[in-house]
Structure 1
Amino acid sequence: MTTEEKQSAENAPHYDIIVIGGGAAGLAGALTLGRARRSVLVVDAGQPRNASAEASHNYLTRDGVPPAELLAAGRAEVAGYGGEFVAGEVVAAESVAGGGFRVVLGSGATARARRLLVTSGLVDELPDVPGLAGRWGRDVLHCPYCHGYEVRDRAIGVLSTGPMGVRQALLWRQWSAEVRLFLHTGPEPTDEQYEQLAARGIAVVDGEVSEVEITGWSGAGDDRISGVKLAGGTVVPCEALVVAPRFDVCGKVIDSLGLEVAGKAAGDGSVLGRHVVAEPGGATRIPGVWVAGNVADPMAKVSGATAMGVHAATEINFDLVEEDTRRAVEVRRRGQEAA
């Protein structure tokens, strides 16, 4: 580190905790820490995973609230307890001599903190099918508990891209009697699976999907999926399409801190994506760094991510209490020796 960089680090604002990510997990953690009378800075890149969804669901007392509205309310609550915010991406973070961390934003600004809570979320890597990505979070879906009720009783297609396809189709059958499994690039179902699908009235469509067909005009707000086009040219009616995205952690801060990343496996052993390895309370193998939300658990819903943020925050505060106590004891002992 150059002399100029050292001076910049020394002059950077200091906080008890810097929260990297302003989604549900980050805001819940910041709120808990603010109420614990800790100084908190939330760095938010402004790219929540559920930004394209019309509403958040299964969040008690807030079911159906648009994601942006939910986050705005959370930010106001955090600010009410003294929490501070800065817009931007943390491009690097490092431990510093004497304890604590220094974070660097894309703008070049820096800040210091005694502890870090990383809630930078994940990226959904979608199947490469024309027309699909633009419908993500609207009528291209992956979680029935988040959006199943909104497409109930419609013609639902399940795009198989891996071993989870059959399981997805059977699950989504709970919300509609008209479910089709498009084999696409997924494996052929076993005889037992074919029997299960037939028993539940789920049709199986062979061949790869070449395109998602859209009707209506986005400017009028009436655009929607109308069908799935197969490579051979056949169009199968469809009003909602279920996919299995690959989940991957995001945020340059993860690499700069050297956090351990591992594959997240489904019940059948297939890898769903990557996540940061952490203890149940969010503690990582890097002392002083906690994680919460989708960066730690790709399957966490909004309510689950919120709970994870609260849990991690309570652990962080207790860790700081222990450090504060050690320092107070050291000061007391030095005073007694001087006397």
Structure 2
Amino acid sequence: MDETTNFARQHFDVAIVGGGFAGTAAAINLARANRKVCLVDAGAPRNRNSEHMHGVIGLDAANPSALLARGHAEFVSYGGILIDGRVDALEQTSAGEWSVKLSSGEASTATQVLVATGITDVLPEVPGLREMWGTRVFHCPYCHGYEVNGTNLGVVGGKNPGFTTRIATLLTKWAASVTLHANGMNLSPEQRERLQQHGVTLVVDDVVQVSPATDDDHAVEITTGSGAIRYDACFTGPEFKPNDELLRTAGCTVADGWVQVDGGKTSEPGLWAVGNVVSSPDQVSQALGSGAAVAIAIDQHLFDQC
């Protein structure tokens, strides 16, 4: 839906950039606190390819996209304004407010801005991997480990050796067997020893392709130069790239590759951040909780400024 006509040249108590679970949870709580809130959503949440989510009490195995749509409707029911669009720039005005500019050219101001633009999973450059991302190829043992209890798993390596070797060892808690295809990763002696300790089989050949197995809705075939191996499911270790360009351009302090926050506050007055944009491991349940917590902090900050 196009709600930019409700956005242009308005002033909001809080503008929220990013309509995933953290941003939407914050938006609902702020709208219920009688704040004038807009939520700008580009429609590309991190888990949009996933069929199920887990770990949310009473909603285990629910479809995350369907749940998010319900959350957006709830936000609107409390008087919030949902914008289908993308924020291109955040600029602090001479009055100490924030100018929020959409890619459409529309602009408004807000006393406080919360950025919840999430993270991009940069997958190894292996044909077939991205096409099955979220359906047959996963990265989080705590999101999908239970569903692969007692199975034979293949793990495809890439540009994130530390994370990839970690999940390969963790997956042995659930799987009958785990095979790590190094796929060009340069593993340290300590990492190799750790894999061996946990019974992870290491294959050093590069992966040529990952394909869906035809005899099962979840199984895959991982093909190397030596041939194809069938697995009941596949995991991989992506590079995690926070979508933090807005925060960096606004001047926020960055350390160790991440924008720094204290209780959701960035180094820039009136600019907040929550969720995967500042914390890579968040699951849906964690995103919901952190979004609600930062919303309360923002509301009380506004209250104390009156």
Q: Same fold (TM over 0.5)?
A: yes
Structure whose CA Rg is larger: 1
Cα distance in 2, alignment partners of residues 193 and 249 from structure 1 = 26
Cα gap change, 1:283/1:193 in structure 2, threshold over 3 Å: closer, same or farther?
closer
Q: Trace 1:184-203 onto structure 2 (pairs within 5 A).
A: 184-188=183-187, 190=189, 197-198=195-196, 200-203=198-201
Tell me the equivalent position of 1:228.
222
1:113 corresponds to which of 110, 121, 129: 110
Q: Distance in 2 between matches of 1:164 and 1:74?
A: 32
8 A Cα contact 1:90 1:251, kept in partner? no
CA distance in 2 between partners of 1:228 and 1:120 (Å): 33
1:255 Cα deviation (Å)?
3.8
Q: Relative to structure 1, is the Cα distance of residues 212 and 285 closer, same or farther in structure 2, using a 3 angstrom cutoff? A: same
**Alpha-carbon deviation of 1:164?**
3.6
Q: Would you say 1:207 and 2:221 are equivalent positions?
A: no
Q: Does 1:242 align with 2:225?
A: no
Q: 1:277 to 1:199 in 2, by over 3 A?
A: closer
| Counterpart position of 1:74 | 71
Q: Does the Cα contact within 8 Å between 1:248 and 1:275 map onto a contact in 2?
A: no
1:173 CA displacement: 0.8
Answer with 137-146 or 44-53: which moved more: 137-146
- Indicate the residue corresponding to 2:88 in structure 1: 91
Q: Shift of residue 277 of structure 1?
A: 1.3
Q: 1:256 aligns with which of 249, 262, 279?
A: 249
Distance of aligned partners of 1:164 and 1:40 in 2 relative to their CA distance in 1, 3 Å threshold: closer
1:276 maps onto 2:248 in alignment: no
Match of 2:242, as an amino acid? V
Question: Partner of 1:185: helix, strand, or coil?
Answer: coil
CA distance in 1, matches of 2:173, 2:10: 52
Give the AA of the match of 1:46: G
Verify: 1:133 aligned to 2:130, yes or no.
yes
Q: RMSD of the alignment, in Å?
A: 2.0
Aligned amino acid, residue 220 of structure 2: S
Please tell me whether residue 301 in structure 1 is matched to residue 249 in structure 2: no
Structure 1 CA distance, aligned partners of 2:295 and 2:265?
Answer: 10
Distance 1:112-1:141 versus aligned 2 partners, 3 A rule: same
Instruction: Name 1:45's counterpart in structure 2.
Output: 42
For 1:183 and 1:167, locate their aligned partners in 2 and report how far apart those are by CA, in whole Å.
13
What does residue 150 of structure 2 align with? 153
Q: Give the TM-score, by structure 2 length.
A: 0.90
Instruction: Read off the aligned partner of 2:131 and give its amino acid letter.
Output: G
1:121 Cα deviation (Å)?
0.6
In structure 2, the gaps of 5 or more residues are 1-7
In structure 1, give the amino acid aligned to 2:223. K
2:268 matched residue in structure 1: 286
Residue 197 and residue 98 in structure 1: after superposition, are their counterparts in 2 closer, same or farther (change >3 A)?
closer
Identify the residue that residue 314 of structure 1 maps to in structure 2. 296
What is the TM-score when the length of structure 1 is the normalising length? Answer: 0.82
Instruction: Indicate the percent of aligned positions where both proteins have the same amino acid.
Output: 37
Return closer, same or farther for 1:129/1:64 CA change in 2, 3 Å cut-off: same
Task: Report the alpha carbon displacement of residue 126 of structure 1 after superposing the two structures with TM.
Answer: 0.7
More moved, 94-103 vs 84-93: 94-103
- Preserved CA contact (<8 Å) 2:128 2:209: yes
